[in-house]
């Protein structure tokens, strides 16, 4: 399916979804009934679920258009080592 656009002189642009290649050169405007000729525009193909499509688009965008950051990522917060309850670890050499 593809979205085709038609232009009515009185009512503006009308969008209709039709199978590929089956758009007529003009449709009757539902508002005024005048013929609205087809307008050539960028194809708006439908690729299934819009949520899945948004995820695919966002994933593809990270390869070509990585997000702009204002600063390098910070260091991970220092976490002190947790002492173990085993007394044998006290005899191990320390760095």
In the complex, the smallest distance separating the C-beta of residue 38 from Zn ion, rounded to whole angstroms, is 14
- Residue showing the smallest CB distance to Zn ion in the complex: 29
For Zn ion, the binding residues (CB under 5 A) are: 8, 10-11, 29, 31-32
Q: Cβ neighbours of residue 38 under 8 Å, at least 6 residues apart?
A: 4, 5, 6, 23, 24, 25, 26, 27
In the complex with Zn ion, the residue whose CB is nearer, 32 or 52, is: 32
Residue with Cβ nearer Zn ion (31 or 60): 31
* Beta carbon of residue 39, minimum distance to Zn ion (angstroms, whole number): 13
Q: 74: alpha, beta or left, given left = phi > 0 and alpha = psi -120 to 50?
A: beta
């Amino acid at each position: 399916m593809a979205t085709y656009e038609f232009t009515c002189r009185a009512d503006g642009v009308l969008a209709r979804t039709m199978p590929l290649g089956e758009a007529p050169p003009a449709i009757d405007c539902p508002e005024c009934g005048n013929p609205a000729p087809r307008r050539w525009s960028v194809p708006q193909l439908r690729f299934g679920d819009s949520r899945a499509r948004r995820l695919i688009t966002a994933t593809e965008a990270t390869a070509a258009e990585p997000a702009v950051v204002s600063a390098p990522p910070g260091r991970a917060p220092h976490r002190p080592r947790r002492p173990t309850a085993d007394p044998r670890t006290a005899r191990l050499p320390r760095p």
